[in-house]
Amino acid sequence: MIRLARYLKPFSTLIALAVILLFVQAMADLSLPDYMAKIVNNGIQQGGIDSAVPQAIRESEMDKLTLFMSEDDTTRTLAAYTLVNQDSPEYDEEVTHYPALANEPIYVLNTISTDEANAIKPALSKAFLAVTGIEQAMADPEKAAALGEGSGFDLSALPEGTDVFAMLSALPQAMRTAILSQVDARFDAMGESMIEQAAIGAVKTEYAALGLDTTSLQNSYIIQAGLIMLGIALVSGASTVAVGFLSAKAASGMARNLRRDVFQKVESFSNSEFDRFSVSSLITRSTNDVTQLQTLIVMLIRMMIYAPILAVGGIIKAISTDASMWWTIALAVTALVGFIVAIFSLSLPKFKIIQKLVDRMNLVTRENLSGMMVIRAFNTQNFEEQRFDKANRDLTDTNLYVNRVMAAMMPFMMLIMNGVSVLIIWVGAHQVAGGQMQIGNLIAFMQYAIQIVMGFLFMSFMFIILPRASVSADRIADVLEIEPTIQDPKNPKRFPLPFKGTVEFRNVSFRYPGAEEDVLRNINFTAQPGETTAFIGSTGSGKSTLINLIPRFYDVTDGAILIDGTDIREVTQSDLREQIGYVPQKGNLFSGTIDSNLRYADENASAELLTEAASIAQAANFIAEKPTGLATEIAQGGTNVSGGQRQRLSIARALVKKPPVYIFDDSFSALDFKTDVALRKALKENTGNSTMLIVAQRISTIKTAEQIIVLDEGRVVGKGTHNELMEDCETYREIALSQLSMEELA
């Protein structure tokens, strides 16, 4: 993956923007459980009141509360409020909010900071609970006795109708301090959040006494919190869509650039590189492997960044919600990590095998499709079906193994998710029952646990995809990083002008990469312009190999090939091949029309030039027989024309180029003798000034050549005209007599 990291650089802005949006999405998703907890705790259980610090308190109620506060708490609390009565400037405004102001003065909360509110909240909460507890105890003798136990102040002994709070205010300071200590001791068993939640009930009662509509207050809080949640969900959804678009754009752009560079690199390959990488493997690398990487990049941006944010943020949020249950999260995370490691160790080796099996599958399929006629001719359909079935089964079995491993992931993840949810509910229920946790916090903690599990689930998907994509990345990088053995010189020369086309082989030897012996040894000859130089020899003698050295499909091992006195390795490959009209042994046509195939040599060629080239190549007659002439469609590979027609069109394509040097690599083998003779005659008449290099198996094709090179096991064993070789070269004479009689050879 690191070897291809540079392909992500052009899309760094898109990726950075996607990461920012992922943070926004993660923060939005992590904030939703908080609001759910607020709706349950504050909106439902607390009647829409979110703080134990009330916005207003009746003066009579404040006097009761201060009885249960220390002097410092009393001073701090009263400083946070302003007493409003009928003489106050704020009376007209405040009486509309608090109707009880018409009957008695009230304390209205000043604009204070959150820290100041938190500072007075504990004292107010305990005071509210104490006042409420006393008021409830006066109606129940048993509660009154229990409340006064230990303080020396038995509320149950007071006469009915006694103003307890007036009596408390008149008590000596020591007795009041004892009562406060008793109250604090009773509150020690409760958590701070539970004290606040319990006190809010008293705040709600106070609001009702002030004339506020508490039902409307509750509904307003729930609706407001719900709208905020809806807005957060919309932000999260919009971020999801935007990240999906950005990640897809970055991944598809990277894949486009990879395919382009792989294709360009393959185009620069010499035959040596094609010997190293099979065609089926190169097709797989530029399609399937690139698709694997494209999928990975989408998932990498979408999940690999989002998942850790969600998991880590969920852990922080869960612990801040209730730190006492951290061990439930730790248990779930440990089980997840262990499972992911096991999955990774099982699947990684198989992913390396899968891509090789895909190569094998493509190879078998390609061979079957291209060799279908041979397969049918030899009745080997059953053998080929078994061969394909084996490749298919090997790939299928390996994929099934990986899919079975991955299939176990989801049930296990769901088991962990549901198991941790049950555990949290069971532990949290005991804490709620013991007054140590609020129900809303329990719900939020459970949602955070699910988010944590989902974060690790997303990461586990990445660990499954990553190994296969990593293998694909290495395979693509192997192609991109290979240096072609045939390179243009750093300071290229130019052919001398005017260009003549004299081709000279000077002590040329050649050995295929990795081979132990040379296939061509000490080849020397010169091909002159206006002459035909032919090559003949037995099968495997090196004729095609020799011809392929001229356009630099391979480079010579020793010696040099010169054209007009210039070593072909000292000019660019483009300049070299611009001077050559090459007709391969197998006539390759491209899908399109006859016209587009002929223009492959020169896209600006005139219609007259195309017609002339077709006429010289003896292709004019069969083209004229086509209803659409040059516009006739050619199927992929030229399968809708015969072998001879394919060869003639290939020759016509080379003629359109009008190069100084022509190379015919056994390009007349599919022609009948009559067409062969007519074609060679037309070539002589129309390309008389060019250098003609012809590889042939038939003596009749090369009989009139000015120079014939006879090869045997990579060596030149004869050189001269037909008549000279018939007298001096035994190898040539044997080949000639095997094809023609002495009368025909005369």
DSSP letter at 484? P
The region of weakest confidence among 218-232, 372-386, 545-559 is 372-386
Report residue 677: phi and psi, to 5°: -65, -45
CA atoms of 293 and 480, how far apart (whole Å): 15
pLDDT at 373 over 80: no
CA atoms of 486 and 205, how far apart (whole Å): 91
For CA atoms 563, 567, 573, 575, the dihedral sign is: negative
CA atoms of 353 and 130, how far apart (whole Å): 74
CA atoms of 106 and 85, how far apart (whole Å): 7
What does the pLDDT average to over 129-153?
62
Using left for φ > 0, alpha for ψ between -120 and 50, and beta otherwise, residue 483 falls in beta
CA atoms of 476 and 4, how far apart (whole Å): 8
Percentage of residues in the chain having pLDDT higher than 70: 91
The confidence score (pLDDT) of residue 173 equals 65
In this prediction, residue 708 has a pLDDT band, given cuts at 50, 70 and 90, of very high
In this prediction, residue 147 has a pLDDT band, given cuts at 50, 70 and 90, of low
DSSP letter at 516? S
The confidence score (pLDDT) of residue 504 equals 92
Cβ–Cβ contacts within 10 Å for residue 335, how many? 18
Residue 460, both tokens: 């586990």
CA atoms of 24 and 309, how far apart (whole Å): 10
Ordered structural domains, the chain, with CATH: 51-212 (no CATH), 268-481 (1.20.1560.10), 496-579+660-746 (3.40.50.300), 587-658 (3.40.50.300)
pLDDT (tens digit, 9 = 90+) per residue, 286-330?
888 888 888 888 888 888 788 888 888 888 888 877 767 778 878
CA atoms of 370 and 513, how far apart (whole Å): 27
Q: Cβ(575)–Cβ(489) under 8 Å?
A: no
pLDDT (tens digit, 9 = 90+) per residue, 694-707?
998 888 888 888 89
What does the pLDDT average to over 359-378?
79
HSE, side-chain direction, 13 A CA sphere, residue 595: 13
In this prediction, residue 365 has a pLDDT band, given cuts at 50, 70 and 90, of confident
pLDDT (tens digit, 9 = 90+) per residue, 388-428?
899 899 889 888 888 887 777 778 878 887 888 888 888 88
For CA atoms 302, 304, 308, 311, the dihedral sign is: positive
Cβ–Cβ contacts within 10 Å for residue 8, how many? 19
Terminal alpha carbon distance of the chain:
68
| Of 8 and 150, more confident | 8
In this prediction, residue 734 has a pLDDT band, given cuts at 50, 70 and 90, of confident
**Measuring CA to CA, how many Å separate 349 from each of 356, 463, 475?**
12, 13, 15
pLDDT (tens digit, 9 = 90+) per residue, 548-592?
899 988 889 999 999 998 999 999 988 988 899 888 877 788 888
pLDDT at 459 over 80: no
Helices (H), 371-438: 372-377, 381-407, 409-433
Q: What is the mean pLDDT of the chain?
A: 83
pLDDT at 514 over 80: no
Residue corresponding to tokens 């704020």: 90
Strands 715-720 and 707-712, bridge-based pairing: antiparallel
The confidence score (pLDDT) of residue 426 equals 87
DSSP bridge partners of 561: 505
For 551, the 3-state DSSP assignment is: coil
Residue corresponding to tokens 């009141």: 49
The confidence score (pLDDT) of residue 560 equals 92
Looking at mean pLDDT, say which of 181-190, 354-363, 678-687 comes out highest: 678-687
pLDDT at 157 over 60: no
The confidence score (pLDDT) of residue 449 equals 84
CA atoms of 229 and 227, how far apart (whole Å): 5
**Maximal C-alpha separation, the chain:** 152
Identity at 197, one-letter amino acid code: Q
The confidence score (pLDDT) of residue 423 equals 85
Q: Please, which contacts does 119-124 make with residues 24 or more away whose CB atoms are closer than 8 Å?
A: 119/76, 120/53, 120/73, 120/76, 120/77, 120/80, 121/51, 121/52, 121/53, 121/196, 122/192, 122/195, 123/69, 123/70, 123/73, 123/76, 123/77, 124/52, 124/53, 124/54, 124/65, 124/77, 124/199
The confidence score (pLDDT) of residue 361 equals 85
pLDDT (tens digit, 9 = 90+) per residue, 1-57?
678 888 888 888 998 999 999 999 988 988 888 888 888 877 887 778 878 889 999
Residue 700, both tokens: 């009749």
For 201, the enclosing helix (H) or strand (E) is helix 192-209
The confidence score (pLDDT) of residue 525 equals 92
For 39, the 3-state DSSP assignment is: helix
Residue corresponding to tokens 């204070």: 112
SS (H, E, C) 42-56: HHHHCCCCCCCCCCE
The confidence score (pLDDT) of residue 234 equals 94
Tell me which residue of 692, 672, 541 sits closest to 618, measured CA to CA: 672
pLDDT (tens digit, 9 = 90+) per residue, 174-196?
666 666 666 666 666 566 767 77
In this prediction, residue 242 has a pLDDT band, given cuts at 50, 70 and 90, of very high
Report residue 82: phi and psi, to 5°: -120, 130
In this prediction, residue 81 has a pLDDT band, given cuts at 50, 70 and 90, of very high
pLDDT (tens digit, 9 = 90+) per residue, 247-275?
999 999 999 999 998 888 888 777 777 77
Residue 415, both tokens: 């088991």
pTM to 2 decimal places:
0.69
